[in-house]
Structure 1
Amino acid sequence: MSLPPAAVLEAFAAEIEPAAGVVALLVGGSLATGDFQPGVSDFDLVALIERPLTDDQRRLVAQLHRAFISRHPEATKLHCVYVPVDDLDEVETPHVTWAAQMMFERPLTGIARAELLRFGFAVFGEPPEAVIPPVTAAELAAAVRGDLSGYWVPALRRPSIWFRDSYIDLSLFTLARAEVTLATNELITKREALTRLDRFHVPAELIEQIRQRRDGHIVPISPLSRVRRAKSVHGLVSDGLRVLLSY
């Protein structure tokens, strides 16, 4: 029987705290915003640790994640960034990260920090607002532009990803959320972004398909329709990025 999200968090917290010296486990993303859909959404976690992980601890943490997934398949999409508390002021510093069932390093971005401050909560330890340094409007705008230019512009040159449902949905959500942040310095949820996709000329039929996928439904699409959708969304995203990066 699958565990509910809260039980997954509690079980993971109990195992990771001693293994990695975690002093606070923070929750962001869809779980924090209320957008979470079991089997669809990621668990986006930040583990604040006493000191950087040693090589032995890295191996132990990777083993813990794999074993946890084997016992709790619903945690396959559990992602966690391990941030030493002394490095919280360093936005560009890469940190040990478990995501997509592998371990690598990446920063805790300005966007992630702002979302933690706006929506996040702690499974244990101090809450985000007590430990995460404030993110200014200029810093948040720069982080959004950096994500658009550093990730999504290069993604336009990767033809294969535009055939995947996940990239179709995420790219369009990104446009809608980025527009609001760049224009108002506010953060919106994916649920709210769904109501703004028409601003980027996303067809109503595609918006409904995205809505159904967010609700956990399988949406069949023929090979020919997938090709047409890839071409159409690639063009919409390209146009949207051009507008947003001119803000």
Structure 2
Amino acid sequence: MDVPPEVAEVLAAFGSAVRPIAGVVALYVGGSLATKDYRAGVSDLDLVALVDGPLNDQQRQQLRELHRTLIAEYRAADKLHCVYVPVGELADVTAAHVTWAAKMLFQRSFSGIARAELLRHGFAVFGPPISATIPPVSSAELREAVRRDLRNYWIPALRRPSIWFQDSYIDLSLFTVARAEVTLIEDRLPTKSEALQRFERFAAPAALIDQVRRRRDRQPTTISFIGRIRRAVVVRRLVAERIQYLLALTTD
């Protein structure tokens, strides 16, 4: 798999350093880098590390230090995200695992969506082939994973007013509902670039679509405080309507 040189450098440095710290037996790449939709400085580096057992407190502290060191040394490491999954826990799709993202260590599941994307598009930095370690995700299981994400994350998010003032949540929510529709109806995992082309299908204002597109192209966007309030109201309502529509779909 061809990757940008600066990303290849980070993957090599991270793979070499994390292996002895966490007992990593395989390191896999998913997300936009795997689907060839990667945007430097915008896209995350979505990694999955299979580890030989649960991580103890010392290993967790060493991982914090490793990630912070990489961020200081490599610009691309700023957006490196990694979920650390014990091999013995791979069968449980709801289990929470040690995860590094947004410059912090916390617990998060290795979701059915992430698993399906990895199986369909991912590649290994080292370790066995993905299909040899990650349990298969059926179409029905993928659709249920999408519904679970909408129900368990995004419906509660609708009740958190502050996040709807943030550019990152505005963009992520719109990409989520656009991609969810494709997956539920067509059994595909579209890229963000493809999803962006679908925003008009659910009546997203042209100015809003342009803002999202500009941010993906690393172009400056400005919006006033009043504009953020208006945008929050519009996007929250739009996302709520799309979630209601998507959860009502009968595709199984």
| TM-score calculated relative to the size of structure 1 | 0.95
Alignment of structure 1 residues 3-152 onto 2, 5 Å: 4-152=6-154
Q: CA deviation at 1:174?
A: 0.5
Q: CA deviation at 1:73?
A: 3.6
How far does the alpha carbon of each residue in 1:150-171 deviate from its partner, in whole angstroms, 9 at most, with x for none?
1111111111111111111110
- Counterpart of 2:176, as a letter, is T
Q: CA deviation at 1:55?
A: 2.0
Identify unmatched segments of 5+ residues in structure 1: none
Structure 2 residue 225 is the aligned partner of structure 1 residue 234: no
Identify the match of residue 171 of structure 2 among 157, 169, 172. 169
How far does the alpha carbon of each residue in 1:34-54 deviate from its partner, in whole angstroms, 9 at most, with x for none?
222122111111001122222
- Counterpart of 2:124, as a letter, is A
Percentage identity across paired residues of the two chains: 59
Q: CA deviation at 1:83?
A: 0.8
Contact kept? 1:3, 1:74, Cα under 8 Å: no
- Counterpart of 1:138, as a letter, is A
How far does the alpha carbon of each residue in 1:202-241 deviate from its partner, in whole angstroms, 9 at most, with x for none?
1222212211111111211122222211111111111111
- Counterpart of 2:225, as a letter, is P
Equivalent residue for 1:178?
A: 180
Matched position secondary structure for 1:80: strand
Equivalent residue for 2:215?
A: 213
Equivalent residue for 1:203?
A: 205
Runs of 4+ deviating beyond 4 Å: none
Aligned length in residues: 246
RMSD over aligned Cα, in angstroms?
1.4
How far does the alpha carbon of each residue in 1:70-118 deviate from its partner, in whole angstroms, 9 at most, with x for none?
2224312211111111221111111111111111111101000001011
Identify unmatched segments of 5+ residues in structure 2: none
The whole-number CA distance in structure 1 between the counterparts of 2:154 and 2:112 is 16
